[in-house]
Chain A
Amino acid sequence: MRLYAVVAGGAFRRYATYRTATAAGVFTNTVFGFIVAYTYIALWDARPQLGGYDTSQALTYVWLGQALLMACAMMGGGFEDELTERIRTGDIAVDLYRPVDLQLWWLAGDLGRAAFHLLGRGVVPMFLGALAFDLALPGSLWTWPAFFVSVFLGVVVSFALRYLVAMSAFWLMDGAGAMRIVSLAGLFFSGMLLPLNLFPGLLGEVARMLPWSSLLQVPADVFLGKHAGWGLVEAYAFQGGWAVVLLLAGRLLQTAATRRVVVQGG
């Protein structure tokens, strides 16, 4: 357990090293926040209360999206490039005989990364957004810890998805294509482009049941106070359920993949 805490801490520090990159990222998140916020204002001007949100809730949703984009890695961007590269080059063989659990090792690192991104790239855009627009911040203090639990579960689901895809590199050798398709599914079905409540009919129902809704839609609704009491428990169960299923699937794939590894001697 201590080992994984150290790995997580190391990942946090690793991302914290790139200060200019973080500042540049904050700038980008803020610019996109402004652009999307204006499109949402136009939309909610025409249809107030759309999707059950008022305008300031919709704007809060926009800035939550920018704040969580990197933490929940909705478009990918984290350990998976490194892992697929290790699989492609064969370095994975070295990892496999280390006395640590491969999946837990990468999970710990990803949690450290997410923690940094939440602080480094989440707080400032959210703050700037709150300065420029009238946001619906939580009325109750309890909403904050409830929100962070939901974000944590979202990060685990996101990790589990990306781990699953990274494992496909054992068969495809070059994981870039599969990774890209998953990252764009993440962008659309997390609710990053438009809240899933606004998706019509069957598409909406399916989108809300897919694992990606754990990445933004569920945490945002927790933040906006849409899930309270049993509703909150249900939201956690939804996220936790997907996390367990996907982590197990990743583990199965890992077992199958490691049987395939052929270590070439020097």
Chain B
Amino acid sequence: MAESVVAAAEKVPVPEASEDFPFPERPRLLEGVRAYGLIMAMWVRSTMAYRASFAMTLFGDFAVTAFDFATILLMFTHVDALGGYTLPEIALLYGLSATAFGLCDLLLGSMDRVGRRVRDGTLDTLLVRPVPVLAQVAADRFALRRLGRITQGLLVLGYALVSLDIAWTPLKVLMLPMMVVSGAAIFGAIFVAGAAFQFVAQDASEVQNSFTYGGTTLLQYPPTIFAKDLVRGVTFVVPLAFVSWLPALYVLDREYPVDLPEWVAFLPPLVAVACWALAGLAWRTGLRAYRSTGS
């Protein structure tokens, strides 16, 4: 999905194999995915060179996110409800947001290194390779340890689904995987847009963290506890609410604090596509504006 939007806009003629040009070129999307896979495999192998360290970082990623949920558990040792939501309800919001973000973080979590590459000039190396730059940047330093985050999100999600008393309908069941995939895609678009921003502001990668790590933290709590303007901001400006809040509140039969019709709960896939179109545009603009530092 990631590259499809980007690649669709670009119709590169595909040369056939001939005597002058012995390597048949694949379509760019396929090329990108293949390159991503190869680079990813390389980083996985390099990570496995230090197995003890890998085990510790994997555990670390699991535990650091587990502490987020532990914080919520500790809060619930003092209260029965937070913002009118019970622990299992918050666990559902938490599990969905953490899993979607974890998936995105695994696939694209290294995108925030673009700024550093622009600064030290190593981006130039990526530009001369006959492989889509986005695929190279996305797979750069692929960190398998981030599976820890997904595992933790899925565990909390499992706990929520077991302890919640939901009147399940086929639609509600289908919404769970839809939320995780669309949510990951929305977060992914933010990662790509943030990386594009780094072509302009080279050492401002932390701004991106506000929307990605900050976004997932925000979504782990119910919308009722935040100021109305903040909720409007993450619905209409940076559409984080579509990652989990809107669809999850439909599953929970809860009303959304900012008056919106019920059908918006089904919009996440469309929002994800729109976000990727914008992010793809931003990425191409950023890449085109790039001038090497020459160092």
Binding site for B on A (CB under 8 A): 18, 20-21, 23-25, 27-28, 31-32, 34-36, 38-39, 41-43, 46-47, 50, 172-174, 176-178, 180-181, 183-184, 187-188, 193-194, 198-200
Chain B 215-252: CB-based contact to A (< 8 A → 1; otherwise 0)? 00110010011110010000000000000000000000
When the two chains form their complex, are residues A193 and B68 in contact, meaning their CB atoms are under 8 A apart? yes
Which residues in B have their C-beta under 8 angstroms from that of A24? 201, 203-207
Bound-state CA distance A43–B60 (Å) is 28
Which residues in B have their C-beta under 8 angstroms from that of A178? 53, 56
Q: List 25 A-B contacts (CB under 8 A).
A: A21-B203, A24-B201, A24-B204, A24-B206, A24-B207, A31-B214, A32-B217, A36-B217, A38-B230, A42-B82, A43-B78, A46-B81, A47-B78, A173-B50, A174-B53, A177-B52, A177-B54, A177-B56, A178-B53, A178-B56, A180-B60, A184-B64, A193-B71, A194-B74, A200-B77
Bound-state CA distance A21–B226 (Å) is 28
When the two chains form their complex, are residues A21 and B63 in contact, meaning their CB atoms are under 8 A apart? no
When the two chains form their complex, are residues B60 and A181 in contact, meaning their CB atoms are under 8 A apart? yes
Bound-state CA distance A193–B206 (Å) is 19
When the two chains form their complex, are residues A20 and B82 in contact, meaning their CB atoms are under 8 A apart? no
When the two chains form their complex, are residues A42 and B209 in contact, meaning their CB atoms are under 8 A apart? no
When the two chains form their complex, are residues A39 and B221 in contact, meaning their CB atoms are under 8 A apart? yes
Known: A46-B82, A177-B54, A184-B64. A27 touches B207 (CB 8 A): yes
Which residues in A have their C-beta under 8 angstroms from that of B71? 193-194
CB distance from A106 to the nearest CB of B (A): 22
When the two chains form their complex, are residues A184 and B78 in contact, meaning their CB atoms are under 8 A apart? no
Of the candidates A27, A47, A173, the one whose C-beta lies within 8 Å of that of B206 is A27
Chain A interface, DSSP helix/strand/loop, else mixed: helix
Closest to A26 in B: B206
When the two chains form their complex, are residues B217 and A35 in contact, meaning their CB atoms are under 8 A apart? yes
Of the candidates A50, A176, A187, A193, the one whose C-beta lies within 8 Å of that of B57 is A176
Bound-state CA distance A35–B222 (Å) is 11
When the two chains form their complex, are residues B203 and A20 in contact, meaning their CB atoms are under 8 A apart? yes
When the two chains form their complex, are residues A184 and B56 in contact, meaning their CB atoms are under 8 A apart? no
- Is there a chain A Cβ closer than 8 Å to B41's Cβ? no
Known: A27-B207, A32-B217. A42 touches B67 (CB 8 A): no
Which residues in A have their C-beta under 8 angstroms from that of B53? 172, 174, 176-178
Bound-state CA distance A187–B57 (Å) is 15
Of the candidates A20, A21, A35, A184, the one whose C-beta lies within 8 Å of that of B218 is A35
When the two chains form their complex, are residues A177 and B203 in contact, meaning their CB atoms are under 8 A apart? no
CB distance from A197 to the nearest CB of B (A): 11
Which residues in A have their C-beta under 8 angstroms from that of B68? 193
Known: A32-B210, A176-B53. A181 touches B59 (CB 8 A): yes
Known: A23-B204, A39-B225, A43-B75. A193 touches B67 (CB 8 A): yes
CB distance from B191 to the nearest CB of A (A): 15
Given A46-B79, A180-B56, 16 further pairs, Cβ under 8 A = A20-B203, A20-B204, A21-B205, A28-B209, A32-B214, A34-B230, A38-B226, A39-B221, A42-B225, A177-B53, A177-B54, A180-B61, A188-B70, A193-B67, A194-B74, A199-B74
10 A-B pairs closest in CB distance: A177-B56, A180-B60, A177-B53, A24-B204, A42-B225, A24-B206, A31-B210, A21-B203, A46-B79, A184-B64
